[in-house]
């Protein structure tokens, strides 16, 4: 089995400069994250707020913490002081909560809208129409301490690469079309798509952030 450092190096080597790696460290203990850190990883993705907070307290301060999991409003306050990017905004209500906590911390928190692109029923996320409602909402201008910087999506869990590619293309198209909305709260520059099984495909289709866990750390 190859080491964490070798896996990170191999994955980084396969990516073009415009696609950055988010190492998905959920369920892994802090010493494993430290090993990834020592191999050069600086962006870590977690899916549980408490776990992210606990690890952030133990690990070096120059790590970017990315929240990639389904998020409950009442947990936002714990990560608001330090979270770097929230990938998983799936309602306007959640965005308002993030804004409220960002105000308390006197910072602007960058967010992605999570779009439902897979054919499976269990995935969280917004439909294209729901996302459009958010980016065109007159209320968005009141949210002075958040910025919507892009979109996130998870493709179907299938070996059919044409299905996966079509889902990534759909998300990329939506991303491009959202660039038309001129609002200081929107700046479409990050497209978070691609996981261990499909990150190369996602990168080909224009991903700027790939979220890779098991291909670095082994299966969970
Ligand atoms: C767990 C997870 C990943 C990483 O999955 P791997 O298949 O282990 O690379 C990526 N994105 C989200 C939202 C996840 O929950």
One of 3.20.20.10, 1.10.10.10, 3.30.420.40, 3.40.50.300 is the CATH number of 4-217, namely 3.20.20.10
**pLDDT at residue 43 in the model:** 98
Select from 32, 45, 124 the residue to mutate for testing ligand 1; criterion: most ligand atoms less than 8 Å from CB: 45
Residue 135 to residues 148, 211, 215, Cα–Cα distance (Å): 8, 24, 34
Q: Which segments within 116-214 are labelled E, that is strand?
A: 146-153, 186-193, 209-212
Could you tell me the pTM of the whole model? 0.97
How far, in Å, is the centroid of ligand 1 from the Cα of 182? Answer: 32
**pLDDT at residue 123 in the model:** 62
Joined together, the tokens standing for residue 51 give 């776990």
Joined together, the tokens standing for residue 76 give 């936002």
Q: Is 28 exposed, middle or buried (0-12, 13-18, 19+ CB in 10 A)?
A: buried
Q: Which residues contact 9 (CB under 8 A, 6 or more apart)?
A: 39
**pLDDT at residue 219 in the model:** 87
Pick the range with the lowest mean pLDDT from 18-27, 34-43, 79-88, 115-124: 115-124
Residue 87 pLDDT > 90: yes
Higher pLDDT, 123 or 24: 24
Q: pLDDT tens, 133-144?
A: 999 999 999 999
**pLDDT at residue 220 in the model:** 79
With tokens 């804004």, the residue in question is 99
Nearest-CA residue for ligand 1 atom 13 is 68
Alpha-carbon distance of 194 to 216, in angstroms, equals 14
Alpha-carbon distance of 104 to 142, in angstroms, equals 15
* Ligand 1 pocket by Cβ (under 6 Å): 24, 26, 47, 68-69, 154, 195-197, 211-215
How far, in Å, is the centroid of ligand 1 from the Cα of 104? Answer: 30
* Total residue length of the chain: 220
């Amino acid at each position: 089995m190859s080491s964490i450092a070798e896996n990170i190096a191999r994955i980084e080597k396969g990516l073009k400069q415009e696609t950055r790696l988010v190492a998905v460290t959920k369920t892994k203990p802090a010493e494993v994250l430290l090993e990834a850190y020592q191999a050069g990883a600086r962006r870590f993705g977690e899916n549980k707020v408490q776990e992210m907070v606990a690890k952030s307290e133990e690990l070096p301060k120059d790590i970017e913490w990315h929240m990639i999991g389904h998020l409950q409003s009442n947990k936002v306050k714990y990560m608001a002081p330090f979270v770097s990017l929230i990938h998983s905004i799936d309602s306007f209500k959640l965005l308002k909560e993030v804004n409220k906590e960002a105000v308390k911390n006197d910072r602007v928190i960058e967010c992605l809208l999570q779009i439902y692109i897979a054919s499976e029923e269990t995935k969280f996320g917004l439909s294209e129409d729901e996302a459009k409602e958010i980016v065109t909402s007159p209320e968005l201008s009141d949210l002075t301490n958040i910025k919507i910087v892009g979109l996130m999506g998870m493709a179907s869990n299938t070996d059919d690469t044409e299905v996966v590619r079509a889902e990534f293309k759909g998300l990329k198209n939506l991303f491009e079309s959202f660039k038309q909305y001129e609002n200081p709260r929107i700046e479409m520059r990050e497209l978070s798509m691609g996981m261990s099984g499909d990150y190369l495909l996602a990168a080909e289709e224009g991903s700027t952030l790939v979220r890779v866990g098991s291909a670095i750390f082994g299966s969970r």
